[in-house]
Structure 1
Amino acid sequence: MCYTLVNKYNVPGPRYTSYPTVPYWNADDFSLKDWKSSVLKAFSDSDLEAGISLYIHLPFCESLCTFCGCHKRITKKHDVERPYIHAILREWDLYLKLLPQKPLIKALHIGGGTPTFFSPKNLHYLITGILKRAMVADEHEFSFEGHPNNTTKEHLQTLFDLGFRRVSFGVQDYNETVQHAIHRIQTFEQVAYVTKTAREMGYTSVGHDLIFGLPRQTLEHVQETIEKTKQLKPDRIAFYSYAHVPWRKGNGQRGFGDADVPKGQEKLEQYTAGKKALIAAGYHDIGMDHFALLQDTLYKAFETNQLHRNFMGYTEVRTKLMIGLGASAISDSWYAFAQNVKGVEEYMHLLNNNIFPVYRGHILNEEDLVIRKHILNLMCTFKTSWSDEEDWFEALPNVLSRFEEMEHDDLVKIDSNALEVTDKGKPFIRNICMAFDLLLNRKQPETKLFSMTV
């Protein structure tokens, strides 16, 4: 990747886990009644075998990782576990009462926070409480995020026995200087132990999350981390750019200054060296930020154009309805988005009174649905087309005019009815999606909202 191109295109931009992006949701025209209607429509549009996806947000962590931008609650008091689980099960019950028949669960992901903050016993109680009132697809994907320091063999076995076959471990970087800067201290030996234990137990996909551009991180740190990662050979790797957003409330990024964060040429070198090393080790570049070995289901989904992207990240399972359970969780019915209240106490209070904890959302109009499809195509397949009449939209000529510079820089190739991202353009996929983002282009943000695109 050319440093000149980075200077040119490195601007604040969304990561496109949704379109419209959350800051551009039309909350004024959203209502819980409309959200429920969209859930029923998505459920009825899908045949029973298509199933639904569930995301469960467990927000608790024992300590604050200062690189993290997720919604979380820091506490060492584990007596919060059972009451929070009871609230989640009440929320699930509200959705089950809304749906006309028992749902088929195709995908289930537990995120956080730190899901393994919860004891194996309580995780068993939670998942069995979810599954006993639903059906589970034969070809299902159950996955969870694990912290290497507190994921025990009992955690892994408990969830394996419940049908989980994929786990991702947050590694970030192995260097002690970087670990102290981001307050995430874990040894290579601990990561090796949980990786090996999961594999021996029968998990078919073990993933590691790595980050470049972290505070006080150098090129050598990234190279050393990837060398150690190659020794463990995880099935898939998320190699993220650190999102420096210190203005966001509660993320802990005020503990270091802008001068501590790699930028420009330095960050570019970290990314380029990391990607080169991963590809040389047999990993394949998939979507944005992701790499997978040939045998991993994520690679197979990419090869067969089945890759999907939502608030759970990249997944090989595509369902029209994704229900998010837990404080701050976001649901997606394809026709609408809905987010739960972020405060743990407020979330639990509402559920104790059998009230849906949704506090904002967005109902997609016809234009939104078309743009969403194009951005999803780009994020998952690096190409999109408007050859079908239903994929054409009135603003398309104006959108295509925005690609003049990118086409000149060989980032995209455009013909009469399609656009394809070149290998040179893949690192700039967020910029390419931004050209399609009608809402962003109609009204640029007046305050800081997004991290840098590169």
Structure 2
Amino acid sequence: METAALLKKYNVAAPRYTSYPTVPYWDNENFDTNKWEGAVQAIYASHLDEGISLYIHLPFCESLCTYCGCNTRITKNHAVELPYIMAVLVEWKMYLKLLGAQPKIKELHLGGGTPTFFQPENLQVLIKGILDQAVLTPESSFSFEAHPANTTFAHLETLYQLGFKRLSLGIQDFDPKVQLMINRFQTPQQVATVTEQARAIGFNSINFDLIYGLPCQTINGLSSTIEEVIQMRPDRIAFYSYAHVPWIKPGQRHYTEEDLPVGDAKFALYQTGKQHLQDAGYHDVGMDHFALNTDSLFIASKEQQLHRNFMGYTDQHTHLLIGLGVSSISDGWNAFAQNPKTVEAYLERVGKGILPVEKGHLLSEEDLVIRRHILNMMCKETTKYGDGIPDRVYERLFPLIEDGLVQITGNEISVTPNGKSFLRNICMAFDEKLWAKQPETKIFSAAI
């Protein structure tokens, strides 16, 4: 079957599998804060030397990017910065009581929202407040997301001095018509300036985020964007499918479905973008990611060390990821937990001295087995059953096998080169909770 036909066939609603079970299938009735705290202490105690990952959600943005599916709070009032930072540090102290003195940090990421909404001196207060109570592993890695239009030299210099060496710039598309539709504005020159400044300061890995399937996006416009990007030579590129979920994100109703490239038009955008990146020397890594062969993400992939968590793909692996801030999700390997989704609810809980966990899930033995298989497929593109592939999994994989996307040798399941673009579909074959209860409403975006 031709690639275009495969893309059309498998363009179904599918999870992104940053976890298993996926959030809509969490069993919150069997979860409470005490169980979560016990899970955190247990997994940390059993992996003391490994260190932990930290994700800090900084939700504020000065304007709404209408394509965005992240948890954000739109405001131009920068007086919100310090009170929010103080609340995050109080939450961190609650976790310190569970972890004990001086936990080891292996990975730290600032996400949003727009982390560069915050003034550099306030980001310094935040990071110093975290690090003053911790130690770093020798291979520790810090990264942050930034808006090219408001990232200053002071942001870059301050964060570099605090240990940040990785930077991710949200670009999406340079086409002025697309930018108008999604209310996201930055010029190639602004991006080039931030990139050049970051490299001069010492940042050693720079990522650009690009999206295909945006309203009014065209082949020529996307090609021009990628040509500009290639000239700047970022170390890695995330090339995502636009997730149209207006039932979750009303801001996406700024435009209509008639403005969106769909079907063959969207598939052509994907194929064109992917080909441009590969022709320029970027290697396909995991799902939606491309990297130069000098980047640690590519190296981790080749060495079978790639990992995936709620922050996406990473070359670092820890069994404990703590999410701080509004809506953040934590992963204790055997359990998940999520904070409240509104700033007010988050601040209220922290203000009362309560660990701000709103919901979660304790993984069963079956969950853990399936989680490992899905993680293997997402990161290593292969997984193996010790005592035979379950019949139900084989039956779900059979159409993918016939279409040349998956191959089976004995008890081992592997993704073919053509199957790399269909990882979400492949992982669905292992997802017992999804098959046991098909969603009655729209909860996932299209796979492609």
Normalising by the smaller structure, the TM-score range is over 0.9
Maintained 8 Å contact 2:107/2:316: yes
Q: Secondary structure at the match of 1:64?
A: coil
State the AA in 1 paired with 2:30: D
Match in the other structure for 1:110:
110
Maintained 8 Å contact 2:101/2:133: no
Q: Distance in 1 between matches of 2:250 and 2:325?
A: 19
After superposition, give the CA deviation of every residue in 1:115-138 in whole Å (9 maximum; x if it has no partner).
000000000000000000011112
Match in the other structure for 1:81:
81
Q: Give the share of equivalent positions with the same residue, in percent.
A: 55
State the shift of 1:7 in Å. Answer: 2.4
Q: Distance in 1 between matches of 2:209 and 2:447?
A: 19
Maintained 8 Å contact 1:308/1:315: yes
Match in the other structure for 1:152:
152
Q: Distance in 2 between matches of 1:279 and 1:85?
A: 41
After superposition, give the CA deviation of every residue in 1:98-121 in whole Å (9 maximum; x if it has no partner).
113421000000000000000000
State the AA in 1 paired with 2:284: D
Match in the other structure for 1:335:
334
1:47 lines up with 2:48 in the alignment: yes
Q: How does 1:67-216 map to 2 (within 5 A)?
A: 67-216=67-216
State the AA in 2 paired with 1:116: T
Match in the other structure for 1:431:
425
- Count residues with an aligned counterpart: 447
State the shift of 1:245 in Å. Answer: 0.6
Q: How does 1:252-263 map to 2 (within 5 A)?
A: 252-263=251-262
Moved more, 344-353 or 114-123: 344-353
After superposition, give the CA deviation of every residue in 1:156-194 in whole Å (9 maximum; x if it has no partner).
000000010000000000000000010001111000000
State the shift of 1:251 in Å. Answer: 4.6
Maintained 8 Å contact 1:383/1:418: yes
Tell me the TM-score normalized by structure 1. 0.97
1:274 lines up with 2:276 in the alignment: no
Q: Distance in 2 between matches of 1:350 and 1:251?
A: 27
Tell me the TM-score normalized by structure 2. 0.98
State the shift of 1:252 in Å. Answer: 0.6
- In structure 1, the gaps of 5 or more residues are none
Q: Secondary structure at the match of 1:166?
A: strand
Over 2 Å off, 4+ runs: none
Match in the other structure for 1:422:
416
Match in the other structure for 1:402:
396
Among 435, 440, 446, the residue aligned to 2:440:
446
TM-align CA RMSD: 1.0
Q: Distance in 2 between matches of 1:199 and 1:329?
A: 30
Maintained 8 Å contact 2:101/2:134: no
Match in the other structure for 1:32:
33
Q: Secondary structure at the match of 2:142?
A: strand
After superposition, give the CA deviation of every residue in 1:79-99 in whole Å (9 maximum; x if it has no partner).
000000010000000000111
Q: Secondary structure at the match of 2:414?
A: strand
Q: Distance in 1 between matches of 2:251 and 2:110?
A: 23
State the shift of 1:397 in Å. Answer: 1.6
Q: How does 1:56-67 map to 2 (within 5 A)?
A: 56-67=56-67
State the AA in 2 paired with 1:203: F
Q: Distance in 2 between matches of 1:384 and 1:251?
A: 39
Q: Distance in 1 between matches of 2:251 and 2:169?
A: 21
Maintained 8 Å contact 1:166/1:205: yes
Maintained 8 Å contact 1:68/1:251: no
After superposition, give the CA deviation of every residue in 1:337-382 in whole Å (9 maximum; x if it has no partner).
0000111011111111111110000000000000000101111111
Q: Distance in 1 between matches of 2:48 and 2:123?
A: 30
Q: Distance in 2 between matches of 1:101 and 1:82?
A: 25
Q: How does 1:357-372 map to 2 (within 5 A)?
A: 357-372=356-371
Q: Distance in 2 between matches of 1:70 and 1:120?
A: 22
State the AA in 2 paired with 1:369: L
Match in the other structure for 2:16:
15
